[in-house]
Structure 1
Amino acid sequence: MSQVEFEMACASLKQPKGPVSDQEKLLVYSFYKQATQGDCNIPIPPATDVRAKAKWEAWNVNKGMSKLDAMRIYISKVEELKKNKAC
Structure 2
Amino acid sequence: MSDLKSQFEAAVANSKNLSERPDNATLLKFYGLYKQATAGDVTDKKPGFSDMVGRAKWDAWNGLKGTATDAAQQQYIDLIESLR
**Unmatched 5+ residue regions in structure 2?**
none
Q: Quote the residue 1:28 is aligned against.
A: 30
- 1:38-57 equivalence runs, <5 A: 38-57=40-59
In structure 2, how many angstroms separate the alpha carbons of the residues matched to 1:19 and 1:71? 21
- 1:65-84 equivalence runs, <5 A: 65-82=67-84
Aligned length: 82
Q: RMSD of the TM alignment (CA)?
A: 1.0
**Unmatched 5+ residue regions in structure 1?**
83-87
In structure 1, how many angstroms separate the alpha carbons of the residues matched to 2:83 and 2:30? 10
Any runs of at least 4 consecutive aligned residues in structure 1 with deviations exceeding 2 A, and if so which? Answer: none
| TM-score with structure 2 setting the length | 0.92
Identical residues among aligned pairs (%):
35
2:19 paired residue among 17, 33, 50 = 17
More helix by share: 2
